[in-house]
Structure formats: C-alpha cells, structure tokens
Structure 1
Amino acid sequence: MDIGPYTVFYEDNSGDTLPLSAIQKHPFRPFAEKRNERTTFADRSVMVTWLRFTLRNTHPVDTLHVLHKTGVHGFITLYENNRLLGQTGISFKHPNRPSPYALPLTVPPLTERKYFVRVLGYVWHPTRISSELITASAGVAWHFGPGGVAENMLLAGMALLTGWLILMCLYAFYSFLISRDIAYLFYALYTGVSALFSVYSMNYRFSFDLDWLFPPQVSDILGPFHVALISAFYVLFVANLLNVRKGFPRTWRILQILLAVLTIQEIHSIAEWIHRRPLFLNNAVYIYAMVPSALATGILLVINFQSRSPIRPYLATGLSSLLGVSFIPGSLDLYFHDTSALADAFFNYPQFWIILGLAIESFCFMLALAYRGRRIELENRRIQERYTHELETQLGERTQQIEQQSRLLEQQHIRQLETEFEKKLADTEMTALRAQMNPHFIFNCLNSIKLYTLQNDPEQASDFLTKFARLIRLVLENSRSEHVTLRNELEALQLYIELEAMRFKEKLRYQIHVSPEVDPQYLRIPPLLLQPFVENAIWHGLMHKPEGGTVTVEVRQPQDNLLHIEITDDGVGRARAAELKSKSASKHKSFGMQVTADRIRMINRMYNIRTTTQIEDLVDSYGEACGTRVTLTIPV
C-alpha cells in the first residue's frame, strides 16, 4: 500500500547534524511536493530526508504487523513515538527479513502510533524515496512478481558480466606469467579491479551476504575500489599498446597529469571508505568525478586514430564503448520514465551501464591482445626465417672470407718477415753510424790535446785532459743507447765546446739557453745529434774570423710533443767559407754532418716520425753575411 498521500517530509540540509528533537520543530510538507531524488541532482553529497506518518489500528482484537519500505538507501532509521525502533540500509545485514530494506511495524488493537523515518543517501545517484506498507507475504511475493523477476534478471546479467571480467583477468595474468609482457599485467589489473567493482555494485544493489564467498574482512575491502582505479589501469594498458610514451611524448605528459588526478581520486575514495561517509559536502565533486576518466578515454581515442597500429579497430571499438556506454550515461545519470519493471531495473541503474561498458571494452581489448599476439608470432616467424637466410648467407660469405684470409695471412707472414729483416738492417745501420760518430769526435779532440802538448802548457793540458776524460765517458755511455736525456746531451755538448774554446783561446764564446717549459731530465733525443752542427759552426763559420765569434744554442718546447733547438753562430757564413777553401776546411769535410743526416733519416724511418733540419744564412742590415742558424725540430 502506497501511503505517500498520508506522509509528510522534511529535507535536512544541515548535513545530518540535527537530532529528532530538533527535526520535530521544523515544518513538514506533503509527500507529493517532494522531488524525485533519482532524477534530480542534489547540491550536497549527504542527503537526509525525514518522513512522518501515523498509523491507527481500529480493529478491536487483531494486531497490525507490517513492513515500512522506503527503497534502497544507505541508512534507514525508524522511530516510534520518539523511540528508536530499528535501522536498516546498505551497511546492515538482515538475512531473515523478507524485504531487506523494509523495517517492521507493530500496532496493537485500537492503538495509534506516530512514526519518524530518517532516510540518509550519499552522493549523486540515490534511489527514489518511497513510503509504502507491505506485509511479510507481500515482500516474499515481490521476488516472484514483475519487480522481483526484473531484479533477478539484472542480478544474473551482472553476474555474467562479472564472471567474464574474472575470466579475462585470470587469462591475462597467466599470459603475463608466461610472456612477461607488461601489457598483459595492466590488462589483468584492469579487468580484476573491474570485477571487484562489479561484485561490490551487486552487493550494493541486492544486499546479498558475501560471507559465503569471502570472509567479512575481505568483502569489506571491496568498498574502496573506485572507477578512478579502473581508469588508471586501462590508461596504462592502452598507452602501452599504442606506445604513447615514445610516439606521442607531449600527449603522454597530459596523460600523466590525468593519471595523477585519478590516483588522487582513488585515495579520496579509500579515505571515504575508512571514514564511512563523503568527505565533501559539495556534490559537484561527485557529479563530475568521471570527467578525468572520460577525458583520458577521449585522448586515447584520438591517439588511436592518429597511430598506425594494426589493432586500431579493436581499441577504437573498446574505447568508444567505454565512453558511450559507461561514462556518458553514468555522468548524465540518465533516467527513463514510465518503463516496464525489466527496463527500469537495467536502464535506470548507473552501475549496470558502467559494468556493461567495462565488459564490452575488455572484450575488445582481449581481441586486440589476441591480434597483437598473432602479429608478434608472425613477425617472429618472419624474423626467424630472415635470420636463417642471413645465417646461411653469412656462412657462405664467412667461408669465402676464411679462404681469402688464409691467402692474406700467407702474404702478411711474408711481408712481416721482410719488415723484420728491414728493421734489423736499419738497427745495424744505426749502430754503424753511431760507431762512426765516436772515432770522428775523438779524432777532433785528440788534435786539440796534441796542440797543447806541442805548446808545452801542462796546466792547460791537464785541464783539457780532465774535461776530455769526462767527455769520453759521456760519449761512451750515450753511444750505447738509442736515446739519451736532453740533460746528458747538453752536458756532452758543453764539454765539447769548452774543449774547442780552450783551443781557440779567447776567439770562441758560447751560450746555452734552455726555456723554463723544457724538462731536460724528462725529454729524450738521439745521442750526439747536436755536436756535428756545433762543430760545423765553429770550423766553417768562426775559424775564418780573426776576432772569433759566438755560438748560441737555444732549446724551446712550443708544444708538448715538439722540441725546437736552434744553433746560431756569427761567423762568415756558408758562402764565404766555400770561397776561402782554407786548409782547415779542406781537412774537415763535414764528415759528422753527413753521418748525422744519415742518422736523422734512419730515425724517421724506424720510428715513423718527422725530425727536420733547417739551415738559414743570416745577414745584417747592409745585406752582408753575419752567420748561420740551424733549426732542429724533434718530435718527443
């Protein structure tokens, strides 16, 4: 019996903060003036509606036993004559009650009772509040009538969709364990959370006890699974299939922002599940909660059309179904008036639309994964065939290369023997050249000793012999090595010049300058390389000048791997020396210079370097010859 015409109501906009005593002071309005909660959006997320009606039992002996039914709501509290009579709702278990959301009333004979009913609903899609009286037998009969059949068919349909989601989750997770493909893991998480959301929605709608399936602690955990978490997993899944991270980097940054928003929404949902009520009173937070999910779906749909992926048709169908079947009807909260009980059960239940869209999308995504796996299999087969062909080709080429390399190795072995022979020959020539330098140098020194002996000058002869002994020791030590330090070479050169200066009395002067950047103890050069040039400057440049002259040796290092040595004299120059044809000049035909030139040529050849010698004739401001400069450039 519909007792709406005999019921008055009051909407509590305080957010469920007023007790019954305060509510009784507010004016109640006729039930006919109450809005349809199912078809209108409320401004607040917590909606409290109070109902008031009076029952009078006029029968003299019979007691009235009835159930008061208001519909499916979060909390339903019944007061009888200001006394709490009972509570029911989604969060209450009532296994023995004929109608789960109805509370029993008992009115003795010839008695009148006043009742207050507090109906508390949450967020943006509550069911319509009714005021009906039914008997226990009518509650049982309702399950076999049109309404009960429709609800049972809705339950069967949602159970089939839930079973499909669970099956896809298990299949995808098994595929991930086999292939380790991250796309299967995202798909398994997406379908698994969707199945849990569907189970929770069925329990919300039909209030069946899940203890036969899960322990109470597990079934209670299903509460925080929100559409945001489902959306986050399918965004990751589709983005992985379309390779959005690399193919569309700018769009991927937008999707990352949306994923962060979805994560925040899921955290908000968990917090509300713990708090057991909405955290925001403004209902717009919940009305537009699906906007981030719909926006992410639309972006993925656009990317899918822009991509060249062969699975585009499957993804397009799945994303379109999710957008058109789940998000748009769910966000608009569509309601169809004046429909049959069956149509009303299916079409006016938002969770059914969401789960139907998820199931269709999961089916399309599974087809996409299957087609993707088939293409990967074909591609692997093509790669295997191509790899086999390449191996055969490479084997043939390798065989030819081995034959060619065998012939090349024989030729290289012959060339190696020739190179080793040439190197040994060059080493022998270098040794012979160094051996030629030593007697030539000693011969010149002995001539000087002979001169002091003939002059009967014992002190000078002793000093000369001391320096000559040191010089001979250095020459013998240096001649054993292919390279000596610059310090040893300059010390031997200084001893030689001092011996020659003693012979020429005061006619020969010398200067040796070493730049600060040069490290004489570290740098190494061929031995006896500088002495022939200094000797040539003394004998061919300075001996023709009556007053004598100066020999200057400058050592610089302009680069880390390059050494410059300049030997300068202020003698008569090469042209004048050639004209004089003196006896001294005829006796010293630059044997040391020729040997040094041959040594430089051998050094360049053996060590593959470029040691160069440059000789310049110096002239004064009048154009007269005033000396010679020899520049040696030695790689170090």
Structure 2
Amino acid sequence: MAEGVLEQSYLEYFYYYPFQNGFLTFTLGFLFSLTVYHFLLYFQQKDTLYLYYSGYTFFIILSQLIHIPDGFLFQLLYPIEIVVNYPMVYTEAYYILYFVFAFKFLNVKEQFPKWHNTCFKILYVVIGFCVLKLVIYMFTGDYFYLDFGYLIFTVLMSILGIITYIPFFKMRSPVKYYLIIGSMILFVFSVISLVIYEGLEGAGMSIEAAYSILYTGYILENVLFSLGLGHKQKLILDERNRSQERLITQFKENEELRLKVQTQLEENVKAMEIKAEAERLKGLKTQYDKQLAELKLLALRSQMNPHFIFNSLNSIKRYIIDNDKEKAVYYMNKFAKLIRRILASTMEKESSLADELETMELYVNIENLRFNQEIAFSIQVDTEISPNGLKIPSLLLQPFLENAIWHGLSPKKNDMQLQIAIHKPSDSQIQIEIKDNGIGLLKSRKIKERKVHKNDSVGISLSRERLEHFSKKYSRKGTIKITDLYELQSNSSGTQVVITLPIKLKGIKKTP
C-alpha cells in the first residue's frame, strides 16, 4: 500500500511540477538537439526547409526559457533577462515559421500556386501586425499592446490555420500525414493544457501541470516532424536514383543503337560498293551515279559520329551531376528525338523542308549545350512558302551549320548569332540562307593553317554533289555560294551560305 502511494506521489510530482523536476529542461534539450541538427543539415543539403524547421524549434525554446527556475540556463540568462521576457513574441515567431515550414515541406507552391500566394499574402498581413504592435510597445512601454495584440494574433492564425489545412488533405505526397498528425497532436494537447491551466488557476492550484501536457505535445509533434523530414529526404534520394538509372539505361540503349547503326552503315557501304562496281562493269553509268550519290549520302550522315554523340551525352551528364534532372531529361528527350530523325532519314534520300528545319533546330539545340546556350539561333520562312510541300535532300544543311558553329562562332566566345532565312526569288526556286556573325572565312582559314593536325571536312563538297544529283529532276540547277561578309562590307564579320534549290510549283502557295 505504501509503495503504491509512493509511486503515485512520484507520478504526481512528475506531472504537476515540470519546472522543478527537469521535464522542462528535458524538453528544451530535446528541441535544442533538433535545432542544431537541422541547422547543420541546411548547410549540408542547401535546402531552406531545414533552416525553417530549425528556426521553428529554436523559437519554441525561446518561448519557454522564462519558466526555467534555476540551474545552468537560469544563471546563464540572468544577466540578459530581457531575452526571456517576451515569450508571446517568440510564440508568434514560431507560429509564423511553422506555416512557412509546412508550405515548403508539402511543396504547396508547386501543386497549388494560387492557394500558396493567397495564404502568404494573409501571412504577410499577420507579420506586419505583429511588427506594428511590437514597435508600439517599445515606444509606449505598455504591456497591454503585447497582451491584447497576442489575442488578435491567435484569432488571425487560427483562421489562417483552418484555411491553410484545406489543400493539405488534397496533397498526393505521403509525407503529409506526418505534418497533419503532428500538428493535430500539438493542437489537441494545447487545448487540453489550456483547459487544465484555466481550471487550476481558478482553483488556486499550481498551473505547472498544464505545461506538462503542452511539453508532451511539443515532443510528440517534433518527433513526427523529424520522421517526416527523414521520409521526405528518402523520397528525394529515391527519385534521384531512379532518374539516374533511367538516364543510364537510356545511355546504354543509345550506345547499342549507335553501334547497330554503325554496323548497318558499314554493311550498306560495302553492299553499295559492290553493286556500284557491278553496274559500272555493265556500263550503266546513270545507275552508277545514282548509287554513288546514295553512298555519299550515307557517308554524310555518318558525320553525326560518335564524337558528337559522346559530347552531347557528356553535356547532358553535367546536368545530372548538378542535380538539374529537369534539364537533363529535357535535353535527353531532344537528343533521342534527333537520333531517331537521323535514323529515319537514312531510309529516305529526301525529306520535307519542315522536317529538315525541325531536325536542324534539334541539332543546334544539342550543340548549343556545350556553349551554355550562348548561340542565338533563329529560323525565318517567308509566308508564301509551304515547308511541308517542299522536298530537299535530307540533312543538306547540317554540314554548313556545323562549320558555322565550330569554325565561325566558337572562337568568339560571346555574342554568337546563327540564322536560317528561306526566301522565294522565283516560282521555280527557293533560297536557303545560313548566316552567322563569326570570325569569317579568312580568319578561320588562318587559324586552320596554324594547326599541326588539319582535318578537312568533306561535308560541304558532298553537299554540292548531292545538290547536283538532286537538280537532275528539274530544269534548273541548284547552287551553293559561300561568302565572307567582310568582302561585302569591311566593318562586318561572319559567313553567309546561300543555297538555291529548284522546286515544283505545287510546293508554293499561290499569292492572292
């Protein structure tokens, strides 16, 4: 019997006197550990979510320091007693930080941007009200402004809390339950502690028991918040790993596709050589020219060599390393689309002007990755031209764009411009103008002459031959003219390529 009474007295002592029995010190120590830990995580992860949470727990600690009766913290804070004399101000601060943390934790801005903006406008009004009443108190010294202002603040935050929780239940994130349950626990414990506080104070008894309930709510809530932060970090890491695995898988598939394409091209080249030789012996010169032109078309397409593929993938890999998965996936999709178009073009000698322009835009975008998007690229087509109704040799423009980028623009380092303009000088012709503001032909040749290893590209000469073969179906011949802009105007720099193509009249819209 005596043992039961003694045990009951211990429980009552723990429950009724948290300021004296160390429960308050334990709670503050627990919150301080969370504050320091998540503050350090902010510097490691560079995520402001941890900074908001550490600020939330820190201001909870400040709001309860006034209840420390003695001990190390009491002696430490006694000389600066003013720090602990504003518990209501600290309470307002941690309520505000709680809302900022909650919205960041659940990514409300991404899923419900309008709701996020509306709630934060209300929150800014509340913050302004808190600052105003604090300033008034500092000038007047009347504690009534803090006390009455805290009551208004409580009402405003309660209304904002009800409004805020509506989208929380609509979230698709599994971590929302940590926040919702943790907040509900603290709310319930706060209400219970307030009821006990009012009851004990009215009965003339010690009101410390109410704080025991509140501190228990603090501990349970922040245990759930900490678990939620850990769960959220795990979800982020899992998503990052899945993205990397997808990119690695895509890279392997592209590598296999590249090897397959190369093998197929080599087989096609050998087959075409044998066939061309056989027809040469039979004296079918016309057929020989056709097959030779197709062979050179394959050789031109092989200019999209492994170096371009690997350089492009390395540029995309940089976004993966920088953890910019959206850009990495965006440019990987562009790269995959370009490869598919190149493979599709190997089955056709000609493609529509619309498809050719789209393929060239993809190519320049991929090349532009290595220049940090410094190249300003544009395409202009006269309104009377229908790109879908015109046929041109596949990948005809690629060698000229490649030369413009690597020999004209890359030495400049800045203010790099590349333009494609398409005009109709007559009903039976169109002109494709490729112009850059690079260093020009003369300077490019001088740089090339100084190099020890000179790699002569055959892309442009093959393009001339292919254009000549393409023109045999028309009454007019196609031409390619390359001009250094310095020759046209001494204060200009860059290169202009004008490709004149014969067309059929049905490819042109009739002007009204």
TM-score normalised over the length of structure 2: 0.46
Task: Please state which structure has a larger fraction of its residues in strand.
Answer: 1
Task: Please state which structure has a larger fraction of its residues in helix.
Answer: 2
TM-score normalised over the length of structure 1: 0.38
